[in-house]
Structure 1
Amino acid sequence: MVAAAPPPERPSLAPVSDDHPTEAHAAATEAADETEMPLPSDPRTFFLGGLFALGALAALYVASSVILPVVLALVLNLLLQPAVRLLGGVRVPRAVGALLTVFLVIGALVGLVAALSVPAATWAERLPEGIPRLEAHLDVIKGPIQALQKIIQQAEQAADAPPGRGSIVSVRRDLGITGALFAGTRSVLDGLFTTVLVLYFLLVAGNIFLRRIVEILPTFSNKRQAVDISQQIQEDISAYLVTITAMNAAVGVTTAAAMYFCGLGDPLLWGVTAFLLNYIPIIGPLFGVCIFVLVGMLSFESLWLALLPPAIYLGIHLVEGETLTPMLLARRFTLNPVLIILSLVFWFWMWGVLGAILAVPMLAILKIISDRLRPLKALGHFLEGE
């Protein structure tokens, strides 16, 4: 009698122990963690985070004379670090390469200021002589402004508005935003030595801070994440600054050539003005349009000729700002445009004109860090554009 063969063993359906997960399970868990955007469930987390943010912003505002030069040096380090590495590739010592780079930047700035001082002084002397011409151009729009002012006064009287508030259109004798700009510039000049000193030692140090952070972090995944964040910040912000600088230089050259052919004179002054203002998105070009409107009215008898320089400048900015630069930066930066405007306004209020220039790089750095830290993924998603 032949014994019956034992039934074949069925595969075990028991779940895999959490203590020894398979590679597929670990990969799936890691992928889920990368896509998950957790939100804190404890209300105390929001309150503590809000208090910390308010305290940090208050410290940034109070200690702006110290912190602003350091932040500016950090951003300039990202811009100039490729030049130092390039000099290192031809066997130039890092300390010498950093010194040469800093000296070249300072020399370029000093030469630019020296070249622009004469035409700027000339235009300052021409300003009192051109006021009658400016008033003649403004006579064209004086009638509509007065009519609008009458309508507003009648509407306020009908609504029983308190007296003394009828005139909304008034000419302020203070400089407004211009005074704020120069106030910010003065604070930057006060910290110029600090900026140069910190920038030089950052260029010399290279990746020493990253190495120290990697040595301190406990696990290999933390070390890899720190290296990934640092490399992404360096690559993206350096690419952003280099691209913006190149596009601003193209805008400056085009504006200088256009103003020369318009007969405005001093093309170098207007080219540098367009170059510098283009570092501040949206607000800078709008301020530039106002400058070119004023200069055109001071230079030309005809109103249409006076409006030609600002029209050309606005056209150049639209081509660059709405077509070329977004096309070049779309793969690296997709920031929410509303948050960009709010960031510009906020940092201009905090740190003046340099705060507005640093607003977009700081917002981009915040997004890069948030995208790679799991507790901040929701913030990174909120900062993302279309």
Structure 2
Amino acid sequence: MPGQSIEQDEQDADPGEHHKGAAALIAPYRNGAVLGIFLILLVGGLKLGQALLVPVFAALLTGLLLGKVQDWLERLGVSPALGAGSIMAVLLAVVLGSVRLLFIPFEEWSAALPEIYAALKRQLLSVRELLLTIEQATDAVQETTGIDASGEAMAVSAPGILSGLAVSVPATIGQLVLFSGVLFFYLASRSRLSKQLAEAGQSYPSLSNFKTISEAAENSVSTYLSTVSLINLGLAVATGVLLALVGLPNAWFWGTLAGLLNFVPYVGPLLLTFLLLGAGLLQEGTFLQIISPALVFFAVNFLEANFVTPTVLGRSLLIEPLFVFLSLGFWLWLWGPVGALMAVPLLLVIQAVVSHMLSKADF
């Protein structure tokens, strides 16, 4: 019958309509799922490729810092290869000189670690007595009430920092060679690559966008790292002078260490504060004299972090502390201490990419 035929046609058409409706509802979640899978695979690839990617990323970030110097040398008439080689030679001399200056004091203070540990034990005797009193009170409560208030014993062991940082010699040499090679060829070819990208960008707009992003990232990273390097140099000098005034041995060593560790936000200054507290325990004197090295550095770092750095960098290069902390935690988890050193420069690169994408977006 005609009525039955129309009803039958509507029933036959229903599955397709339901399928389209379900697909429309699932589409946003599907895109999110694809993005989530991509991010998981990206993080896994970064983790698995750590041995290869860490020296490459470190070389490229160093190249962004030294790119302006390379441009200056080329404007003076120096060939790209000679300019890159000169920069590499100066960089190597600075690294070797720093290692030479820091090695002997570091060896002395690392040999004093058992003494620092013993001093900490002596200072914590009162805390231990308090814990024993609490334990006795807990046992008395358990015997009286029948409630098991005991907990698992806490074992305190020194972290295996040295063993965690130790790597095999061949792997380290290979990573240094890779770092040096990538840095040299990046510096030597950066002007030629920039010209080629500019020419290709006329035919391929995506390459023009890449050139714009790379230039913005280079400006941000080079300005940030050069400015922070000068700030940390001043921090190192101020810390060394003040520590010498309070009578801490090898004050210039601690000042240099303060400048180096300050490249790692939050974690570096906190680590040095604890190290200076341990060094102060080896000195004889009153309680105030013992903690004075740590207090001095804390005061200097507080002034630097809250007044000097924000004033010098200005608003253009300041990043939200939350993003800095998240980037630091992520790269520290992913690549260890080297990742922590690269956390802020990598965040600046990501910020340049996101800013460019938002400027091109049509809202």
Relative to the length of structure 1, the TM-score reads 0.76
Distance, in Å, in 2 between the alignment partners of 1:129 and 1:333 is 43
Aligned to 1:71: 57
Choose the corresponding residue for 2:95, options 84, 105, 109. Answer: 109
- Can you list the C-alpha shifts for 1:345-380, whole angstroms capped at 9, x where unaligned? 1111111111011111111211111111249969xx
CA distance in 1, matches of 2:344, 2:327: 7
Map 1:200-239 onto structure 2 (within 5 A). 200-217=184-201, 222=206, 224-239=208-223
Residues in 1 aligned to 2:361 and 2:258: alpha-carbon distance in whole angstroms:
37
Match of 1:194 among 149, 161, 178: 178
Q: Give the count of matched residue pairs.
A: 335
Higher relative helix content:
2
The one-letter code of the counterpart of 1:229 is: I
Which of 68, 78, 89 aligns to 1:82? It is: 68
Give the unaligned 5+ runs of structure 2: 1-26
Residue 362 (1) aligns with residue 346 (2):
yes
Q: In the aligned structure 1, how far is the partner of 2:335 from the partner of 2:293?
A: 31
State the distance in 1 between where 2:111 and 2:185 align.
42
Decide which of 319, 330, 355 is 1:346's aligned counterpart. Answer: 330
Please tell me the residue identity of whatever aligns with 2:298.
L
Q: Is the 8 A contact 1:156 1:166 kept in 2?
A: no
Contact 1:133 1:301 in 2 (8 A): no
After superposition, the Cα gap between the structure-2 partners of 1:124 and 1:223, relative to the gap in structure 1 and judged at 3 Å, is closer
Say which of 259, 272, 297 aligns to 2:281: 297
Distance in 2, matches of 1:212 and 1:151, equals 77
Q: Which residue of 1 aligns with 2:160?
A: 175
CA distance in 1, matches of 2:95, 2:63: 17
Shift of 1:84: 1.6
Match in the other structure for 1:274: 258
Q: Does 1:258 align with 2:242?
A: yes
Percent identity, please: 23
Question: In the alignment, does 2:75 pair up with 1:93?
Answer: no
**Match of 1:9?**
none
Given that 1:184 and 1:352 are in contact with CA atoms closer than 8 Å, whether structure 2 keeps it comes out as: no
**Matches of 1:155 and 1:369 in 2, distance apart?**
61
**Equivalent position SS for 2:211:** helix
AA in 2 matched with 1:136 = R
Cα shift readout 1:302-359 (whole Å, capped 9, x = no counterpart)? 3221100011101111111111112222332343322221211111111111101111
Q: Distance in 2 between matches of 1:148 and 1:86?
A: 68
Corresponding residue SS for 1:299: coil
Alpha-carbon offset, residue 123 of structure 1: 2.0
Question: Please, what TM-score do these two structures have when normalized by structure 2?
Answer: 0.81
Query: Which amino acid in 1 is paired with 2:262?
Result: N
**8 A Cα contact 2:202 2:208, kept in partner:** no
Q: Which amino acid aligns with 1:175?
A: G
RMSD: 3.3
Q: Answer yes or no: is the 8 Å Cα contact 1:183–1:352 preserved in 2.
A: no
CA-CA distance at 1:230 after TM superposition: 2.2
Q: What SS is found at the alignment partner of 1:206? A: helix
